A and B are shown apart, each in its own frame.
Chain A
Amino acid sequence: MSLLEVEDLSVRFDTDDGPVHAVDHLSLTLGESEVLGVVGESGCGKSVSFMSLLRLLPETATVNGTARFDGVDLLRASGSRLRQIRGRQIAFVFQEPMTSLNPAFKVGNQIGEVLRRHLGLSRADARARAIELLHLVRIPSPERRVDEYPHQLSGGMRQRVMIAMALACDPKILIADEPTTALDVTIQAGILDLMRDIRERLGTAIVLITHNLGVVADVADRVVVMYAGRKVEEAPVHELFARPQHPYTNGLLGAVPRPGAGRLREIPGRVPSLAELPRGCAFAPRCPRADEITRSNVPDLRSIGPQHLVACFHPGPDVEAVA
């Protein structure tokens, strides 16, 4: 039984240049206390799709599809129902911890505010719980930190505060959008450990949106790879890294420098603009396996192994790039 079931999610933005299909028929599921990695580059729709689930997108966006969570279709739920879910059962952590925190309030009050609004705690209880939460996210001397302002904290600390705030109401799902991208590696390591810890101790399901394959390799159970608004591959983490099927996944894996590996693989061309997508497979113009079929047809997702889906006419593990 899965916790969240997204089916046929499409997001369209009406812009000056005409409609832009940011997300195109995306389906995915999230199991209880599962860590799902969602990987893709800028503009692939990875953030937009999850923001659309909680209706956090601007009004120029049209969202279609269904998203079942706890017996409710999030995309059709009433505003008040959604407000109960948002922040309380599904919580968000954003990339930039500085802009997501209000600089004018002490961190303790910001966490306390969430607790008082959603759980109706008293001021004193909220403070005590805020200290507990800061402790949970392993902020040293939380009794002191609770009375500090965001600018007094380092980037890593702020991201921990954001996570503490997200965990305030003991949510079932934590959606973390590039939570470590703005952070240094040594800080990132701590945040990743924390994510793992949260899942193990609290059983929270986590959606980890990132462009960094290393981060996914570190904490995810299952991985969804997105390209140009579509899901191009999905598999359990070990399967995906051991037997990548989509040429884009293969390309990404070959493009990251790693110890002992030879020359980096290049993916020619550029990430496509969503306003000017090619007719067939969106990856075709950059794909070493592209042919006539690929250029004129959009491949459907198909199963090619246990829990392994791929949207490609010519799937298979690495075809060596013509160097």
Chain B
Amino acid sequence: MTEPVLEVEGLVKHFPVRGLGAKGVVHAVDGVSFRIGRGELLGLVGESGSGKSTVANCVMRLVAPTAGAIRLNGTDITRLSRRALRPLRRSMHMVFQDPYSSLDPRMTCGQIVGEPLDVQGLARGRDLDVRVSQLFDRVGLRDELRFRYPHELSGGQRQRVGLARALAVSPELLVADEPVSALDVSVQASILNLLRDLQEELGFSCLFITHDLATVEYLCDRVAVMYLGQIVEVAPTRELFGNPKHPYTQSLLSAGVVPDPEVQRSRTRVVLEGDLPSPLEPPSGCRFRTRCPLEPRSAPQSHDEEPPLVDVGDGHLVACHLVRRGETPDLYRPLEVAR
């Protein structure tokens, strides 16, 4: 296997909370490891509070990790200073969730897209204009939009501007943090298609963060599922959707809605009881145990012991005591529809 573009090992991010009397630590990310190969799209899926966005911010070094290691093309960037990081920012960029707040309202779209090239000293003057023009063309924006301000564009157009900015420096890694969830349904499709086309054309690797399983299935090569700051399951997309093993992944898959009443109404649904535990005091042992429908079977081991993420074959990794014991949960069987 060639060297991965991104390697994350034992990533931890804790946010200290100081309140009246209360003092604690939010365990946003607690020991996350994964790697992304060249040209690979890894989907990182999780619900709110799972820490998926914090992983993105750590990888981009927009926040400083508490512990662990992040290697970009083999270079450890975990502790590099902002200044030392600057040249490395040619190798990675990011698309943000909100197309409204991610573009500076005081700059024209052309300036926004050109800024990374300018900052990195990759293009100046006339050359910069040409490069920006090419980028606009590549993301399907009319050239004259270069002179418009973000507020004059629609959400979909703005997200294209964001994508053009991220790809301006031809990064090897693109981090996409919920890039379509703020858009109208009818616009989402075109952005997802664009992302897919650009990836095929340019061959960058991508860390795609989302809460939407259907999007991941459409776009990604591999999927990692996060729950409360940890990865509970990783597998190639087909394998994960066709043969989910972790009870959380199973309930997540069962809960997703399909726009087809025949299919949707015949599905079994695993409804999780209880609330997401507070990341201030994550449960001991298996983090999912407080909501796991199979907790009676896994107790007491699941209370005392944190299940390690182990390979069960073919690059399918699961962190579940039951799976390890050979009692793979069977809460939900995916329907074999045209798969």
Contact = CB atoms under 8 A, between A and B. Distances in A.
- Give the dominant DSSP class at B's interface: helix
Contacts of A254: 189
Contact of A214 (B189, B251, B257): B257
Contacts of A256: 185, 189, 214, 259
B204 interface: no
B180 to A, nearest CB: 10
At the interface, is chain A mostly helix, strand, loop or mixed? helix
B255 interface: yes
A186 B271 contact: yes
Given A184-B211, A212-B257, A140 B274 contact: yes
A72 to B, nearest CB: 34
Contacts of B38: none
B215 interface: yes
B193 A241 contact: no
A267 B259 contact: no
Interface residues of B, number: 47
Most buried by A among B189, B193, B274: B189
Given A214-B257, A270-B157, A259 B339 contact: yes
Nearest to B271: A190
B47 interface: yes
18 contacts: A41-B184, A41-B185, A185-B47, A185-B211, A185-B213, A185-B256, A186-B47, A189-B254, A212-B185, A218-B265, A238-B261, A238-B262, A251-B186, A260-B339, A265-B189, A270-B154, A270-B155, A270-B157
Contacts of B256: 185, 214
B192 interface: yes
Interface size class of A (residues with CB under 8 A): 35 or more
B332 to A, nearest CB: 11
Contacts of B254: 189
Interface in A255-291: 255-261, 263-268, 270-271, 286
Contacts of A184: 47-48, 211
A157 interface: yes
Contacts of B239: none
A98 to B, nearest CB: 13
B269 interface: yes
B261 A259 contact: no
B193 A266 contact: yes
Contacts of B252: 185-186
A156 B271 CA distance: 12
Contact of B184 (A215, A258, A271): A271
Given A188-B257, A214-B258, 19 more contacts: A41-B185, A140-B274, A185-B256, A188-B255, A189-B254, A189-B255, A189-B257, A217-B261, A217-B263, A255-B189, A257-B218, A258-B259, A258-B260, A263-B193, A266-B189, A267-B186, A268-B190, A270-B155, A270-B157
What 8 A-B pairs come out closest when comparing CB atoms? A214-B257, A260-B338, A257-B218, A255-B189, A213-B259, A270-B154, A184-B47, A189-B255
Contacts of A213: 185, 259
Given A186-B272, A260-B337, A218 B257 contact: yes
A29 interface: no
Contacts of A155: 48
B189 A193 contact: no
Given A186-B47, A214-B264, A266-B193, A253 B259 contact: yes
